[in-house]
Amino acid sequence: MIDSHTHSAHSADSVMPLFDLINTAVALKLDYLAVTDHLDRDFLYCTNSKPIKQLDIPKYAEAMREAKKIYDGKIKLAFGIECGYSEKSQKMTFDDVTPLNTDVVINSVHTVKDEDVYVPAYYENKTKDEVFLPYINAVLKSLDIALPYDIVGHIGYIARKAPFRFLYEDYDGLLDEIFKKIIQKGKCVEINTHVKFAKADFFPEYDFIKRYRELGGELITFSSDAHQTFRVAEKYDLAAHAVKQAGFKYFAAYIDHKPEFYKI
């Protein structure tokens, strides 16, 4: 089992101590764990939410260096970062992340046109197209950033809070474009089981994964996006089953930005 996306207390939205997270993964006998704390430079430009505490990069990097030494031989531990994309913050993110000795970088969209899509008011008086089209376009743009990222974070994240279902068939042209670009760039899609209140088991949903495979997609990984110990590797079996059914045989897991393959 692997888990490519988790958050410790170095993230503003988690209180899980780093060692609790890693010990949980060891106890669950995971082969691989990536800790991917949030770098939310996009929120510095956000107009509809309060400022959030930013990642202390040197402190986090040092903690991961230490942890890698301590857990050597016990679990394959990856130093990761989940970067929130926005047009305005992408240069700052690039400058912050590029010099670091990371193993894996997740490129995620949490804000659209400088607005946090987690705020319920974001959806007031918006039609389905007004909700999904700007989000899809933000994901499409995010794929072209200079940042050396490996994984495209939780495609469909907006459906966690949106009052509509996010269906592939409604936006298949643009979504095909997204997956074709991911394949062409050699990036990896994650199956993220942290869905909160959405009527889905994971994002992207099964139709998305299936289409990604049909288009020739090969790189896929498992992500619990755990912020608490009991969520580490949550719904792994469910996600693995779906991915297998869609035609994938291996999960990719990154060390030093190179994929290693784990049989599903």
Contact positions toward Zn ion, by CB under 5 A? 82, 108, 225
DSSP string, 99-110: TS--SEEEEE--
Nearer residue to Zn ion within complex by CB, 86 or 108? 108
Between CA 216 and CA 224 the distance in angstroms is: 24
Closest CA to 35 of 98, 121, 106: 106
User: Toward Zn ion, which CB reaches closer, 83 or 246?
Assistant: 83
Shortest spacing between CB 153 and Zn ion, in angstroms: 5
Please identify which residue in the block is written with the tokens 């592939």. Answer: 168
> To which H or E segment does residue 63 belong?
helix 57-70
Nearer to Zn ion, 3 or 82 (CB): 82
Pick between residue 134 and residue 218 the one whose CB is nearest to Zn ion: 134
Neighbours of 98 (CB within 10 A): 12
Nearest to 78 by CA among 105, 104, 108, 59: 104
Closest separation in Å from C-beta 73 to Zn ion: 27
Residue 210's alpha-carbon distances to 91, 206, 216, in angstroms, are 33, 6, 10
Nearer to Zn ion, 116 or 225 (CB): 225
Spell 195-210 as b/e; 16+ CB within 10 A means b: beebebebbbbbebbb
Q: Minimum Å distance from CB 219 to Zn ion?
A: 18
| Nearest to Zn ion of 103, 129 (CB atom) | 103
Residue carrying structure tokens 């949550």: 234
The secondary structure of the chain in percent helix, strand, coil, rounded to multiples of 5, reads 40, 20, 40
Minimum distance, C-beta of residue 72 to Zn ion, in the bound complex (Å):
25
Q: Between 74 and 196, name the residue whose CB sits nearer to Zn ion.
A: 196
Beta-bridge mates of residue 3: 33
Give the closest residue to 176 by CA, choosing from 143, 130, 208, 141: 208
Q: How far is the CB of 249 from Zn ion (least distance, A)?
A: 26
CB of 110 to Zn ion, least distance (A): 6
Min separation Cβ 247 and Zn ion, Å: 26
